[in-house]
Amino acid sequence: MSQQILGFLGEFGEKILGIFSAFAEMSAEDDYAIPKMIVMCAIGGLLIYLAIAKDMEPTLLLPMGFGTILVNLPLAFDAGVLKPGEGAIYILYNAGVANELFPLLLFIGIGAMIDFGPVLSNPKLMIFGAAAQFGIFFTLFAASFIFPLEEAASIAIIGAADGPTSIFVATQLDSKYIGAITVAAYSYMALVPVVQPPVIKLLTTKKERKIRMKYEGKSVSKRTRILFPIVVTIIAGIVSPQSAVLIGFLMFGNLIRECGVLDSLSETAQKVLANLITILLGITVAANMNAKDFLRFETALILGLGLVAFIVDTAGGFLFAKFLNLFLPEGKKFNPMIGAAGISAFPMSSRVVHKLGLEADNQNFLLMHATGVNVSGQVASVIAGGVLLKFALEFLGK
């Protein structure tokens, strides 16, 4: 009995010694290896806190937060979490993120969730979706002062305010900052209610925010609803082939929704598929959240540039509306705030605009117009992603 106890104590002591020697080995390679991992675990904890306590994009920030802790456990790397060829997260990353499969599958779910009715009944609203992509290209320009062009393009796409597009473009361009880009894209999407109102209030007058827009509520034929996803895919595929796969998966999801004969598939895409992919995507993207890749000065720069992209997107949308108003007669003017909804962060952005409209005038209902612009932003951001990808791939000679 006493021999068994001694044996157990001996084994236990060896294990403890093994842990300390592994820590010492890591510290010998990098003096700050352990503190960095602790910082990353704290960041993981913060993401989980924001997801649960602040309800900020919990579907993605929570898995990402947990994944961040998982990949930064000091001894877990050797135990197989991220080990090339063997680690579970490594395998999942290569199976779903590195080959862009997860973002594309998620797009089927998103397409099935979106009702394009408001924009189909008033197609001219789509122009604001295009204008609100200004932030992407402005950020590309700004980032090109610091980063190589292909990395600048990966960073600029944070302005698409669309997680799957950001991941897709960054992966295609083989960006080494994919972790930071994903965190920025999803965090700012969640922060739309915080980021947009001050920008809108700063650049619009109360009189402009009070502009009422008549909603005619035109009905849309079922044929138009069915043809829309097909036509958009064809146009995008011809004009911007690099966006064909993204827009194609988005529109495929929408066709399932609108065709009227695949209700169960539509429901599965909206709920089961989207949820399943979100779980896997969140925890897998965290593969890039290891201390070595994430704790760099560039990460702070990327987060800053992402914020710039969101702000300029917002400003681009409503400044374009203000510009159009110069040529429109009284009574036909747009409320410039709806331009800000073109940022694509659906549906938060349209809700923000609607709320600000009601704040300025309690009878000013902008929700339907803002929703129309918001879903246009979804399409426009994917097209912008495709355009950017085309430029960058040509630049890289791929």
> Of 219, 264, 362, 363, which one interacts with other proteins (CB under 8 A)?
219
Position 298 contacts other proteins (CB under 8 A) = yes
Number of residues that bind other proteins (CB under 8 A): 56
Point out which span in 9-17, 47-55, 128-136, 273-281 binds other proteins (CB under 8 A). Answer: 128-136
Shortest Å, Cβ 149 to other proteins: 5
Burial environment of residue 262 by CB neighbours within 10 A (0 to 12, 13 to 18, 19 or more): middle
| 228-267 footprint of other proteins as x/- string (CB under 8 A) | x--xx--xx--xx---------------------------
Phi, psi of 244 (to 5 degrees): -60, -45
In the region spanning residues 23 to 52, those forming contacts with other proteins, defined by CB under 8 A, are: 30, 32
Which of 60, 104, 126, 184 touches other proteins (CB under 8 A)? 126
CB of 379 to other proteins, least distance (A): 7
Shortest distance (Å) from residue 301 CB to other proteins: 7
Binding to other proteins by residue 223, rule CB under 8 A?
A: yes
- Say how far apart CA 70 and CA 40 lie, in whole Å: 10
Distances (CA, A) of 43 to 46, 48, 279: 5, 9, 19
Residue 312 binding other proteins, by CB under 8 A: no
Q: Under rule CB under 8 A, which residues in 153-172 are in contact with other proteins?
A: 153
**Shortest Cβ distance from residue 23 to other proteins (Å)?**
17
- Only one residue has tokens 């992966």, namely 171
**Separation of alpha carbons 374 and 314, rounded Å:** 11
Residue with tokens 């397409």: 111
For other proteins, the closer CB: 57 or 313: 313
Q: For 369, list phi and psi in degrees, rounded to 5.
A: -65, -45
Among 134, 168, 318, 346, binds other proteins (CB under 8 A): 134
How far apart (Å, rounded) are the C-alpha atoms in residues 62 and 275?
13
Cβ neighbors of 105 (< 8 A, separation 6 or more) are 249, 273, 277
